[in-house]
Chain A
Amino acid sequence: MREAVLFFFIVVAGTAGELAVSRAMKGVGEVRDFRPKSVLRFVLQSFRLPWMWVGIALMSLAFFSLLAILSFRQVSFVVPISALSYAAGAFGAKLFLGERISRNRWIGIAIVCLGVTIVWWTRG
């Protein structure tokens, strides 16, 4: 139960954090200039966006959940399970960013979920 909650945070908060950052990035616009000065300006600009902070908060929650679960579970168990974020990412991008997910991508995601299920059986 405890680990289910932690996995939920890792997958859902991690993915939601990335979606929030992605949304903030779309507000900044495409980066075409990679000189250090422009990159720094881009970073400072992105920190002014509220979505960026929402993203950072959610990703921090995911990171601390990862640390917590690693304190009592094997790395070779935890990291493969966290691949569920591919599924969460697709659903999230579809629902909140309005992205279209191709059929092949859904097939890939279904296979990832199958693999995660197999790894879950080995939790012992």
Chain B
Amino acid sequence: MRRVAVPRAGIAREFSNLSATLILPFLLFWTAPQGNQVTHTRRLQLKTMPLILISIILGPLGNVFLGKGMKGVGSVTSARMIDLLPIASRVLRSEYIWLGIVCLMGFFVTHMLLLTWADYSYVQPATSLSYLSIAILSYLLLGEMISPLRWLGVAVICVGVLIVGRTSPSTSEAPEHA
């Protein structure tokens, strides 16, 4: 009985794919043969890898800016309209918030662009790295102290998202064999 290709949860293989996603764009930039030797796949990878890198930096960067902006606005402690209005006006006037929104919109557009030629099941696992990226960026840019336990949690989340992403994106289709 033929099995539909179900990706086994081979963690080691996932990580080798993961490192390939990180290292390949650089390798390709440096080693890509010029001229007609460039195969179709390679050309696709040449634009896919940089865009994946951009999207896993731009999205988290947007959240980091939102965080920075909101720390400047002040703690939202009440849900009453009368308290929320002055906060809302400060949010709208915060340049960091707008910067964050621009980053998130850029992320969204990059993601959509990627999905017009790359498969969702290829793009989605790579986005699991954005959880690592958010931790690194908030450490570097916001000076947040991240305990080893939190690094562990973030790493576990990355692995989980990676596995979610390696499953088939179309779930509503009935399999050929029950």
A-side interface residues toward B, CB under 8 Å? 2, 34, 66-68, 70-72, 74-80, 83, 86, 93, 97-102, 104-105, 107-122
Contact = CB atoms under 8 A, between A and B. Distances in A.
A98 B131 contact: no
A101 B171 CA distance: 6
Given A99-B172, A107-B9, A119 B163 contact: no
Given A102-B167, A105-B164, A112-B161, A75 B142 contact: yes
Contact of A79 (B63, B155, B156): B63
A111 B76 CA distance: 32
B171 A104 contact: no
Given A86-B160, A109-B164, A122-B150, 8 more contacts: A74-B142, A75-B144, A83-B131, A83-B157, A101-B171, A108-B162, A115-B155, A115-B158
B134 interface: yes
Interface residues of B, number: 50
Main secondary structure of the interface of B (DSSP, over half): helix
A79 B134 contact: yes
B135 A76 contact: yes
Interface of B: 6-9, 60, 63-64, 66-67, 70-71, 73-77, 87, 91, 97, 116, 131, 134-135, 138-139, 142, 144, 146-147, 149-150, 152-168, 171-172
A108 B153 CA distance: 14
A30 to B, nearest CB: 12
Nearest to B168: A102
Contact of A115 (B75, B139, B147, B157): B157
Contact of B171 (A100, A113, A114): A100
Contacts of A112: 156-157, 160-161, 164
